[in-house]
Amino acid sequence: MLRISPTGDDGFRAGPRRRSPERSFGGAVVAQSLLAAGATVDPGRAAHSLHAYFLRAGEASAPTDLRVERVRDGGSYSTRRVTAEQSGRAILELTASFQVAEPGFTHQVPQLLAREPVSLPTAQEAAAEIEGPLRGWFEQLTRRHPFDIRFDGELPRVAASRGEPAPPHQRFWMRSLEPLPDQPLVHAAALAYASDMLMLSTSLAPHARAVGAPGVAAASLDHAVWLHSPVRADEWLCFEQESTWAAGGRCHCSGRLFDRAGRLVMTVAQEGMVRPLGPR
């Protein structure tokens, strides 16, 4: 998923991720677009932020063409704009910024309060304790996403399966299932992928509903990521997510990613479409 091929004139292509038709995961397209942007930037400049709009649903069994525009190269920052296309139609627009490493003031307000990942069950172990359709969701989680995921506390989705509302937040540890190469851009792209995982589900927790359940339509609309510090995606990271608002068929969600030492390494904000279907 983190391999793209140059096609000339700042163009790149990402191959299909699935053999059979399946809707593309938005985080995968964001990650591939960031890789394309970074391929046109001096390696000494690290990705520090990206802003993306999801325009159309993508198809995971089809290739994606990535067209990069070199917006600006300044003394400290470089900006790139990427259009991801399938069959000649834009499915995502992304703007990314890269910065030369430099010293600066340092502080951090959010603190990590989580149990150690090795003490928590894997998705497969959690599935073994669950009956009914929810077990299938846990079992396919690592098939769909290439991460070892350990949930710290009960997921709102589990409460929803009982017809119970839950607070709009969740927390889990994650790391890549496979070791990744040392290039910082690869790890930044892996984090960009993860930044879209499970985020919208927090907005449905107070309503005892879940993304993918009958009677619910959900999709990411726009997405922003700030990468605060270089970090490896194949080492344990803790992702805290919450939803602060929902109304009018939309919701706002945010997330904070910490490394195992408690250092805040990424902040995410996302607006999504969440609609009840059927009689109201």
- Residues marked as catalytic: 196, 220, 270
Question: Which residues partner with 66 through β-bridges?
Answer: 12, 84
Question: Which residues partner with 46 through β-bridges?
Answer: 99
244 contacts 254 by C-beta, under 8 angstroms: yes
Backbone angles phi, psi at 272, to 5 degrees: -130, 165
- With CA atoms as reference, report the closest residue to 175 among 240, 255, 260, 264: 260
Chain center to CA of 74: 28
The length of the chain is: 280
- With CA atoms as reference, report the closest residue to 206 among 179, 243, 232, 174: 243
Task: Identify the burial level of 199 via C-beta atoms within 10 angstroms of its C-beta, where 0-12 means exposed, 13-18 middle and 19 or more buried.
Answer: buried
Backbone angles phi, psi at 64, to 5 degrees: -120, 130
- In what side-by-side order are the strands of the sheet with 216-227? 4-8, 11-14, 64-73, 77-86, 89-100, 45-54, 216-227, 264-276, 250-259, 237-247, 169-176, 147-151
What dihedral angle (degrees, nearest 10) is formed by the CA atoms of 32, 38, 44, 49?
A: -80
3-state secondary structure of 184: helix
CA-CA distance, 276 to 213, in Å (whole number)?
10
CA-CA distance, 25 to 29, in Å (whole number)?
7
199 contacts 27 by C-beta, under 8 angstroms: no
